[in-house]
């Protein structure tokens, strides 16, 4: 099949958003078209997340809705991609025969072939459907999962890493780069680039090492080349992605070519505790080297940032490169997970709360320069209600949040995940009510700090990358337009200084509330004929401001403009565009 309407919905993290973008590019090149309306699709794909049960439940309910639809649209092909496919395996198909295609995150390069087979298989099964069955009983059963035999667990030299080819074949054009599907009119000027895949950490609560496999590092030339191609297509902001992104390292002496393509390398174990990459030298591209290379070789990228950093082994060499290269953002996302040493040990995180804060102090000493308008902004992740967590352990977490002074924090209630060490060895013994109240307490503590950090920005004039309409403006337009009319300007980042980029219509940002409280853009003093825009500072602080009357709001998307911060309301920072 070379055509058909595809609807793709993405759940979970930025890595999934990037996977969806790569998959869309690949399918588009084969003639598929995309729709933002699931009801108009011939193929419905869910790119799933298994990190918390809540994210999986959403997918189960979407699949339930599709069961009825298959009765009226028997040829509809349904695919589950990503971590849930990998984790549940063929059990998912048994429980939900509505699913025709399952494709794990390590096998996405095979998706076009799977879809093609699924369309044909469905058609022939339906042609021979026994009378006592209906279309919902028939699954085309096309499956590509890594299972326990990860192709990356053998030496990478043994076979070409075809997943690397998916990243290498990324289709990049001014329209395809994050263009607003459905309108095709606006190319976003921000993009993700993967530098590592998988994870070797095995935190006891986490499914990622099982669903995404062993950690591998992409060749630096591939990464730099991808950044150059994105820059040529108009991208000015890049976020490098990896689960433990600061562990990136590529040893050139050990590089292997297969079919003319340099292969990614397996991650090596860190000795731990060092402040500089011990392998630094000409024969190795360290994470610090990679940042400097992209900065120097792709000057059109005005903002370069990276997520997610692992707090242990974060070298001074990386911090110094950020300090010395002006287009590297002063923003670090460094999850702590808990402030209690006992819980950190049970989580297998490999550091103590004191070691974590020592790192933050070191990062601030090297990077925080508010006097030149470059304050270091930090954000973190926390899990509350981990098995055996006492009030005392939780108090230590609150103390860490107060000490760290993040600009935002993602706070999650512990969710036991099948296959992890924690679910096997530790009873989920913190009652739901206690998890909820700790969650709320931590959200409140963080909200107070976010507001104080917002207030400290009042009177400053940071450069703001304009991402789209504010949520308030989108709501206003939604109320004014007839149903089903697509917006002509993409929505910006959802919302607040604690927010995260949402990437277009069919893509959900992280599903949990961050810092809990709803944004209060409504409070902004926008005149009726003014359009409120949303953007981010270099430190990832979300700013709302009115487009000046003499500029078309559309013309400002993807630009970096100076905005004078005038007030902080709740979690939001409001400002006025300053003269350029
Ligand atoms: N690699 C990153 C790190 O460790 O810093 C995080 C990746 S993980 C996909 C994103 C976040 O989800 C984690 O930082 C953690 O706070 C949260 N998380 C992971 N497993 C969880 C679980 N079982 N229950 C609740 N939250 C979880
Ligand atoms: Fe999961 Fe830990 Fe790896 Fe992050 S570092 S992905 S939390 S196992």
Give the contacts of 549 (CB within 8 A, at least 6 positions apart).
529, 530
User: In what order do the strands lie in the sheet containing 190-194?
Assistant: 190-194, 237-241, 303-307
Q: Please report which confidence band the pLDDT of residue 274 belongs to, taking 50, 70 and 90 as the band edges.
A: low
Give the pLDDT confidence score for residue 148 in this predicted structure: 53
Buried b (16+ CB within 10 A) or exposed e, 454-468: beebeeebbbbbbbb
Average pLDDT over residues 391-408: 98
Q: Which of 50, 51, 310 to mutate to test the pocket of ligand 1 (most atoms within 8 A of CB)?
A: 51
In tens, the pLDDT along 66-75 reads 988 988 898 8
Q: pLDDT digits over 213-254, tens only? A: 999 999 999 999 999 999 999 999 999 999 999 999 999 988
State which ligand 2 atom lies nearest to the alpha carbon of 243.
6
Residue 426 contacts residue 388 (beta carbons within 8 Å)? yes
Pick the atom of ligand 1 nearest to 51's CA. Answer: 20
Q: Give the pLDDT of residue 569.
A: 79
Q: How far apart are the two ends of the chain, measured CA to CA in Å?
A: 51
- Whose alpha carbon is nearest atom 5 of ligand 1? 335
Task: Report the distance separating Cα 82 and Cα 145, nearest Å.
Answer: 9
Query: Is 173 or 460 the better-scoring residue by pLDDT?
Result: 460
Cα–Cα distance, 189 to 177 (Å, whole number): 7
Judge if the beta carbon of residue 205 lies within 6 A of ligand 1. yes
Specify the 3-state DSSP secondary structure of 313: coil
pTM above 0.75, yes or no: yes
What ligand 2 atom has the least distance to the C-alpha of 207? 1
CA of 465 to the centre of ligand 2 (A): 30
Predicted pLDDT at 235 = 94
Q: What is the DSSP string of 323-351?
A: HH-TTB-SEEE---B-S-HHHHHHTT---
* Burial classification of residue 132, based on how many CB atoms lie within 10 Å of its CB (0-12 exposed, 13-18 middle, 19 or more buried): exposed
State yes or no: pLDDT of 177 exceeds 50: no
CA of 337, closest atom in ligand 2: 7
Cβ of 209 closer than 6 Å to ligand 2, yes or no, is yes
Ligand nearest to the CA of 356: 1
336-388 pLDDT tens trace: 999 999 999 999 999 999 999 999 999 999 999 998 889 999 999 999 999 99
Higher confidence at residue 289 or residue 260?
289
Report residue 54 as tokens: 């809540």
Any idea which of 10-24, 130-144, 416-430 has the lowest mean pLDDT? 130-144
User: pLDDT (tens digit, 9 = 90+) per residue, 44-102?
Assistant: 999 999 999 999 999 999 999 998 898 889 889 999 999 999 998 888 988 898 999 99
DSSP string covering 514-563, please?
Answer: BSSSPP-GGGS---TT--EEEEEETT--EEEEEPPTTS-HHHHTT-EEEE
From the CB of 243, is ligand 2 less than 6 Å away? yes
Q: What does the pLDDT read at residue 485?
A: 56
Give pLDDT tens digits for 537-572. Answer: 999 999 999 999 888 888 888 999 999 999 997 677
Give the number of the ligand closest to the Cα of residue 245.
1
Span from the CA of 243 to the centroid of ligand 1 (angstroms):
10
Confidence of residue 260 (pLDDT cuts 50, 70, 90): confident
Nearest-angstrom CA–CA distance, 214 and 334: 21
Name which residue sits closest to atom 9 of ligand 1, judged by CA.
Answer: 51
* Average pLDDT over all residues of the chain: 85
């Amino acid at each position: 099949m070379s055509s058909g309407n595809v609807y793709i919905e993405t759940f979970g993290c930025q890595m999934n958003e990037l996977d969806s973008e790569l998959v869309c590019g690949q399918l588009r090149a084969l003639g598929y078209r995309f729709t933002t309306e699931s009801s108009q699709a011939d193929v419905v794909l869910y790119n799933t997340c298994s990190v918390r049960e809540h994210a999986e439940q959403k997918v189960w309910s979407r699949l339930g809705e599709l069961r009825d639809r298959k009765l009226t649209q028997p040829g509809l092909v349904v695919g589950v991609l990503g971590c849930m496919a990998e984790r549940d395996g063929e059990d998912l198909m048994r429980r939900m025969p509505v699913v025709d295609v399952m494709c794990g995150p390590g096998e996405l390069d095979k998706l076009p072939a799977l879809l093609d087979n699924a369309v044909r298989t469905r058609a022939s099964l339906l042609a021979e459907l026994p009378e006592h069955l209906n279309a919902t009983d028939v699954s085309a059963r096309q499956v590509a999962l890594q299972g326990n035999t990860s192709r990356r667990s053998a030496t990478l030299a043994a076979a070409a890493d075809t997943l690397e080819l998916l990243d290498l074949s990324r289709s990049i054009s001014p329209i395809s780069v994050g263009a607003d599907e459905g309108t095709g009119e606006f190319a976003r000027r921000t993009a993700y680039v993967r530098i590592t895949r998988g994870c070797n950490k095995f935190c006891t609560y986490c499914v990622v090492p099982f669903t995404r496999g062993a950690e591998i590092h992409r060749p630096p030339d591939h990464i730099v080349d991808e950044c150059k191609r994105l820059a040529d297509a108009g991208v000015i902001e890049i976020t490098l992605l990896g689960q433990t992104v600061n562990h990136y390292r590529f040893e050139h002496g050990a590089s292997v070519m297969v079919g003319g393509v340099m292969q990614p390398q397996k991650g090596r174990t860190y000795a731990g505790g060092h402040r500089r990459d011990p392998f630094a030298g000409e024969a190795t591209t360290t994470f610090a080297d990679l940042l400097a290379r992209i900065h120097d070789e792709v000057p059109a990228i005005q903002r370069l940032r990276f997520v997610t950093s692992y707090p242990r082994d974060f070298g001074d060499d990386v911090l110094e490169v950020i300090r010395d290269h002006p287009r590297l953002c002063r923003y670090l996302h460094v999850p702590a997970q808990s402030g209690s040493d006992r819980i950190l040990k049970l989580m297998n995180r490999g550091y103590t709360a004191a070691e974590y804060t020592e790192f933050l102090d070191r990062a601030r000493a090297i990077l925080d320069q508010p006097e030149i308008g470059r304050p270091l902004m930090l954000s973190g992740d926390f899990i509350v209600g981990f098995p055996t967590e006492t009030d005392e352990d939780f108090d230590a977490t609150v103390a860490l949040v107060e000490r760290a002074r993040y600009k935002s924090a993602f706070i999650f209630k512990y969710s036991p995940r099948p296959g992890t060490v924690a679910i096997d060895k530790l009873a989920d013994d913190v009652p739901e009510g206690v998890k909820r109240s700790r969650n709320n307490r931590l959200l409140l503590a963080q909200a107070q700090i976010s507001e104080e950090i917002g207030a400290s920005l009042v009177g400053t004039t940071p450069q703001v990358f304009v991402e789209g309409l504010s949520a308030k403006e989108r709501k206003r337009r939604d109320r004014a337009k007839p149903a089903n009319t697509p917006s002509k300007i993409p929505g910006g980042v959802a919302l607040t200084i604690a927010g995260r980029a949402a990437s277009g219509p069919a893509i959900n940002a992280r599903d949990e509330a961050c810092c809990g409280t709803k944004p209060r853009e409504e409070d902004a003093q926008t005149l009726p004929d003014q359009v409120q825009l949303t953007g981010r500072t270099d430190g990832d602080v979300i700013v709302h401001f009115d487009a000046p009357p003499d500029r078309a709001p559309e013309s400002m998307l993807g630009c970096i403009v100076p905005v004078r911060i005038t007030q902080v309301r709740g979690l939001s920072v409001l400002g006025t565009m300053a003269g350029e």
